[in-house]
Structure formats: structure tokens, C-alpha cells
Chains A and B, each alone.
Chain A
């Protein structure tokens, strides 16, 4: 039926050929009421869905449905949505079977093309009684008639007028209600308010009424949806319980079966034993009795024999008789003296058997007693489940044994000889997991577990090794080097034993902790790393150490500003006569030519040239720093390769480029040295602050008088490796370094 109607109503959008003279738009509700076009469509859809939803909640809801529908009908009436909507109502009312929710959407689709519905309907209405038009399933001819009545009513026209194609809506619009009487719950025309009926009543604009009706419907829809979900969940749950009941039954059945079998076997065995014992006893008795019988017989024979002999004797001659009688008397005397045992040795009765069923009783009782459990299986450590001081140990029991508690034992794993026993700890737990605390970071522990019940303990599980997470590393903040695009951070491990790797986390400092995006660099094998950054930002950096157990907590943070290039002086290169300030930015050569302490010189220290080098981040690009000088000091500033000969002067070789100032006889001499040569250069105003620009991309090293924004000189230098800033003081004096500053504008031109 559905399908038929669907076809009839034309789910496909193409206009059937016969109907082409019907102007769609006139009856297309979307366009009908220009005032509220959107609301119309929405309204219709919602109402329809509400209706459908209403239907799905149950048959018993008839009344409620009715009310709602009436309300809606009235509303719709006002909007001139009558024809298609009411038609639809009728259909829904009487003809729509109570179907599942899933069937409604197709109906909804149809609703969007009400004009088509009407059209088709009207045509079939003309044909009236024809059930074969596909509306058959929807009712009798009488119903079609009813529908036409309805249609006529709503439009107040005779049915003949359908073909004329008068536009009823325009007329209706003039009379259309535009307010809503809350009291009567009916839409009315504004002027009606004035009249007696609605005079006292509360009236609200139609829009509002619409909105509130829609809201109501929405709310109900929402509730219904929720209920659907709840019911579905419950059904699932029930299914699960179902299955569990079956399972549990199965287990119990098995249990009983085996127990009872055992008992039966035992009983049978007992029976056998007893019978056998009884048999033995009988044999015994019979043998005893038989023995007695035999001896009795012998006795009898002897007696008889004697008797016969005596009788014979009596027939003998007197002399023979007396001889024999004396012998006989002796014999008789002797014979009669022997006792004849006439006691029956074996009683015929058998004793009452003592049936010992105690072990059977025990078995019966033990139906409900359980054996000791089998060994649990301890899980391997889940990754990232440990902290620096705790691990979470899990295990499972792969049998149906009853367990009352578990005992977890552990001790640290030691490489040392087994003779030295580490302290063992044990905890009793009811669950199959345990968080063990108070442990040492970055340490391996052995864990094993036993299960316990009334019957006793299980055998021990295998031993599993868990490791605690490491301690956090410690960033070497004084050795951070940065530039506009990157930072080189190094740190101490923070752990005695090796860890697997390190993770560096950075957040931009501007955004507060909570909302900042954290970038992580993972899998760092060593205690240093170079991270790419954005220029002109501030970052907060943390480091974590990682092992199998998981990550450590964050280290103390370090802050990096990607402004300019930031470096510190390398004390390992420092000539003994130079002192570096605490902040690492001031170099002093004091008056004394030899220092108070003379550390043994190493290869890394400058020995001839009283110099020191900085540690510049090994990133190609631009680097800029400034040096504050005094025009009376003799100094040299510039750059050099890391392996510049420490026994030579700066600038004397091809591994360094520098600017040297010498002040002698009130004259300033400036040299720009590389490979021992310098151009002839004269500078009229001695700089007080020298800006140095190192440009790897263009292979240039430039010097500036910062205060005057004056360019002094530029070297073209082949920088195949990374260079570092270098500074020296040829005479006592001091130099102050300013770095981490952005390039002044005038410098950017070079």
C-alpha cells in the first residue's frame, strides 16, 4: 500500500503528463503564504512528525493525539495550509496503520509535495469510488467522499470548482486569523477579539502561538528519542543477563555432575570392598568348621575302632582277653583322657557390619567446598601505567576457581649475587589489580601473585618485571642557546640508570597554561636537542624522561625568547687571565697579568690570545649581537670556528674574522683581520657599541657602530662549518655583551 501510494503521489518529482496545466506553485505550500514561508514548511514537517511520533507511543493515546491534531489543524487552517494538511490528517487518522517509526520518514517525504497529493487526490476524488487508484487501501469510496467534503468545507466551494482553478488562498488570506486566543486555544481574527466571545480572553500573536506549539512538539520529540535509547539499552542489558544466566547454570551443572560422580564411584568401591570382606569371613568360618568336622570324624573313627577291638576281645580266650584288656584299659584310659573338643569353633552368625560412610559423607559435604585455586597469571606491564613512585600491577585468573583474596609480593630486581636478598614486600588485595606505591623511580621490580581461598593458597604465578617511571630531568638553563628560529636545550638525565628516551614539551608563554597548545618532541635519545621555533615568541620548555613504565613528571620549566640570538660564553675556552661574570655576559681582564689561580691549560683554552669564545646555536641564518666597548681599550671582537688555533691571535689565521681596535698615542686604529691581513680603514668616530651581524646565507660578517647606525665593514667569509663569537682583550679592560636582541633596522639592509 505504501509503495503504491508512493507511486501515485509521485515520489519522483516529474510532472505527470496529464497534469501539466495544473500550476504547481499555487498549491505548493512552500510558496503559499508569503508571510511565513519557512515556518510553513517547518511547521508542517514537525507537526507531521509529531503526529507520527504520537502514533508510535501507543494506541491508547488516541485522545491525546486527537487533541493535538485538532490544535494543529486549527493553526494550519489559519495559514491556509488546510487542504493538504487536513487531507494528510485524514489519511493518518484512519488509514495509516500503526507502524514502526521507521516507516514514517517515507511518508514525510511525500508530505513535501502536497500539491501533488492534492492534485492526484482530486483526480481520484473525481473518479471517487475507485479503489484501484491506489487509495483503495486507504479507505472505501465513502471515505473518499468524506475527504472531498472536507476539502469543500475548508475552501467553501463546490466541488465543481476544482477544475476552474480559482485561487482560494487569496480570499482566505483576507479572512485569515492572525492572533491566537490562549483561553479558547483557537486562532481567531484580530477583530474577533473585540467581540464578546473572546473579549476577556488572553490573546497572543499567532507567531508566538506557533513558536510555543513548536517548542512543545520539539520537547516531546526529544523525550521520545531519549526513551527509545533507554529502551534499547535495557534490551541489550537483558540479553547480556540472559546469556550470563545460561553460563552460570552450565557451570553449576558441571560442578554437581562431577561431584556426584565421584560420590557414586566411592560408594561402589565401598560396596565391593565390603562384599569381598564378607566373603573372606565366610570362608574362614567354613574352614574352621570343616576342620572341626574332620577331627570329629577322626575321633569317631578311633572310638569305633576301639569299640570293635573291645568286642573282638570279648570273644577271645581268658588268657588273651586279660592280656588285651589290660592294654585296652590303658589305651582307653589314655584316649578318654584326651579332651574332646565339642565346642563349635565358628559361630554361624556374622557380625553386624560397620558400614563406614564417613568418607562418602565427606564427599557429599565437599560438593560445596572448593579446591584451592590455580595459579593466577600476572600481566606484563601496560605501557605508560607507571609513575616515578608507583606501578599498577594487573593479573587474571584463567579458571572458574573461587578466590577470596590475592597476595602480591614484590622486590626490586637486583643484578647482584643471589646470596644478597632484597627485602620482599607483600600486600593482600581483593581486586585483580593493585597500585603499588612508595617505589624508587626508574627501577625494576619483580612481582608475583598468589590466589587464596578457604582451601588454601594457589601456586605462585610467574614473576613479572615492572619498572617505575623515571625521575624528571633537570634542564641546564645556563647552557640554553637560541636564535630567532630555534633553541638548543640540554639537560641532566635526573636518573642514575639509563632511560629509554626523552620528550621535550613546549608551550607558547603568551597563552595561559590551560589553553596553550603543547608541542612535543619525542624519542630524543640524548640529553640535548635542537627544536624549531617561531620568531619573536616566548616559550616555556619542559623535558620528561621516558622508560617502559611511562614518562616522568615534567622537569622544572625553562623559558626561551626567540628574539635575536642568545648565547653564553664558553668557560672551557677562556684564557686564564680573563674573568667571566656570573651572568656570563661580561668579560674582564684585570690589571694583574697573572691570576691568583693558574689552572692547568687544556687544549680548549686560549693560551696566547687573551680570548674567550661564546657558544652560538648551530643554526644557519642570521645572528646579531652587540658588544659594549670603551674607546680606550684594546679589544678584538668577531667570530671563529670552534677549532680555531688557541695558540694564535684572533684574526691571524683563516679560521677567524674579527675587528680589532688599538688605542695608542691618542690615535684609534681599526683593523678588520682575517688570515693576518686587514684593509686600510679609517673610522672617524670610535664606536662605543659594536653590532655584529653574522649572515650564513650570504656568507657575510658585518660590523656596525650601533649608536650611529653606521656600517663599518663587511667580510665575505666562507662558512662551511658553524662559527662562534669570539672576544679578546689585548690590554686590561672589559667587554659587555648584549645578545638576545633583535636586529636594528639599519642592520637588516645588509
Chain B
């Protein structure tokens, strides 16, 4: 897979780049952003995947979050993929803001017309890591994942479906129980069909109940006055309850204020 560098900006020893490649899973050109800390010049860095939320691209996080200083300090190689395939000309992909384009929901669609392109789960857990590991100075043994909202959902399911793959999992205002929230229902029925049993495979709250249990370290930060929380899109309590029962270590922090980055 050939990588084409789209942009690169340098700032005090660190590099923020954006690459483009042709994705096999998604059958289209995909962009992703990578951040190389100064440490990358001399050695392999731990890798950190950021999964963005609804309507985001690879740009939102790298432009708005201000994560660079922390990443530089800790020598972290940060990868921020896009949230869905682009320009595939699938019918209906631009109809809703919370489904299809910009809303891959980190699942592998099984339904038409989505199943050809909308395989974001495999992309994020397999294709992209392979690409990164082959082309950049990273240490695959030290991988972690974090994300926001839909991305938060993404990180939770990636971690729960791949025990031992990620050293830490952090979710900001994540969708914790998509099968019960409007977003989730919409997305899953579109990508996975009406059979709700298939949805469980992408539902954090469900997955946790059958998690075989290698070490996990989950941190969930949630703003108290988050509208989406109040609208019951996020449903963290269900997830927490399931984790408590299964003794999965989670620290769930309900904060007063949490900045939005979309």
C-alpha cells in the first residue's frame, strides 16, 4: 500500500502529517493524520489511536484538540483516522449527518449498499495498524486507543473485541450502549440489518458481559451537562453497571465541564 503524503507541518521537532492511501477494506482513498513526536527520530514510540466522533474527519482532532504538547512530552505517536469512507458514491450516504458519511460507527457493515465500503472496524483494528507498523517508527506492543462520542464507542468495542491489544482505553463522552440509543439503533439497523442479535457484536455494554478478561484499563470522562447525555444517547450507566458486575476496571468521571472538539 503506497502512502502518499498530503501535508506536513513541523513545529519544534515534532511533525504533524497527513497521508493518503488506497484502503483495501474501505475500497477508496482514505486519509489519516499522524503525529510524530521528537522522540520518533531516535526510537520507536508507543502508538495512540484517536477515533473521532460523528461528522469528524482526520482534521478535527489535529486542529482543535491541542494534544500536541502532551504527545510530545510523553513521546507518543498519535494516529487519527477518518471516521468513514469518503467519495464512494454510495447512494444515500449524505442524507443524514449521523449515518454513513462521517458516521462509520466503527463497524463492519453487512448490509447493502454499505458493506463494500463501510468496514471501518476492520480498517481501524487491522488495516490501519498494519500500515502504521510497517511505515513508521512505532512499537506495536505499546498501543492504546482513545476517542470521543462515536469514537468513544469505537474505542470501547475495539478494546473489548481485542483483548490485550490495547494497553489503555479512554473514552470521552462515549456512546456506551448504542443498541439502546437512537444513534445506535439508526446506525446498526442501517449497517447490520434488523437482526438485533448482530448488533451485540458492536455494543460495548454487551461485549463487556462476555469479555474473557485480560487486563483492561478504561477511563471514561463525561461532562455532566452534556446534552447528549441528557438525551440518553450515551448511556454510560449501563456500561458501568455491566463492568462492575464483571469486575472490569473502569474509572468513570462525571465532570463539570468537558470541552467539545467537533
Contact = CB atoms under 8 A, between A and B. Distances in A.
A683 B251 contact: yes
B215 A708 contact: yes
Given A710-B217, A711-B219, A681 B253 contact: yes
Interface stretch (B123-131, B185-193, B197-205, B240-248): B240-248
Nearest to B245: A684
- Chain B interface secondary structure, helix, strand, loop or mixed? mixed
Nearest to A682: B252
Interface string A261-289: 00000000000000000000000000000
A713 B217 contact: no
Nearest to A703: B251
B250 interface: yes
B250 A683 contact: yes
Interface in A677-718: 679-685, 705, 708-713
Contact of A684 (B250, B254, B256): B250
Contacts of A711: 217, 219, 251
Given A679-B254, A681-B252, A684-B249, A708 B217 contact: yes
Contacts of B254: 679-682
Closest 9 CB pairs of A and B: A680-B254, A684-B243, A684-B250, A682-B252, A684-B244, A685-B249, A708-B249, A710-B249, A685-B247
Interface residues of B, number: 18
30 contacts: A679-B253, A679-B255, A679-B256, A680-B253, A680-B254, A680-B255, A681-B251, A681-B252, A681-B253, A681-B254, A682-B250, A682-B252, A683-B250, A683-B251, A683-B252, A684-B240, A684-B243, A684-B247, A684-B248, A684-B249, A684-B252, A685-B244, A685-B247, A685-B248, A705-B249, A708-B215, A708-B217, A711-B251, A713-B251, A749-B74
Contacts of B250: 682-685
B142 interface: no
B152 to A, nearest CB: 16
Given A680-B255, A685-B249, A708-B215, 4 more contacts: A679-B254, A681-B251, A682-B251, A685-B250
Interface string B214-252: 010101000010000000000000001001100111111
Interface of A: 679-685, 705, 708-713, 749
A680 B215 CA distance: 25
B46 to A, nearest CB: 11
A749 B251 CA distance: 17
Contacts of A708: 215, 217, 249
A1 B157 CA distance: 106
B164 to A, nearest CB: 15
B260 to A, nearest CB: 19
Given A708-B215, A708-B217, A711-B219, A680 B224 contact: yes
A675 to B, nearest CB: 14
Interface in B94-138: none
Contacts of A705: 249
Given A710-B251, A712-B251, A682 B240 contact: yes
Nearest to B236: A682
B218 to A, nearest CB: 8
Nearest to B218: A684
Contact of A709 (B217, B219, B256): B217
Nearest to A667: B244
A708 B243 CA distance: 14
B176 to A, nearest CB: 12
Nearest to A712: B251
A749 B219 CA distance: 16
Contacts of A679: 253-256
A712 B247 CA distance: 15
A749 B248 CA distance: 22
Contacts of B249: 683-685, 705, 708, 710
Contacts of B253: 679-681, 713
Interface string B58-86: 00000000000000001000000000000
Contacts of B224: 680
Contacts of B74: 749
Contacts of A712: 251
Contacts of A685: 244, 247-250
Nearest to A705: B249
B26 to A, nearest CB: 35
Nearest to B222: A680
B236 to A, nearest CB: 9
A384 B252 CA distance: 67
A679 B222 CA distance: 11
A668 to B, nearest CB: 8
A464 to B, nearest CB: 69
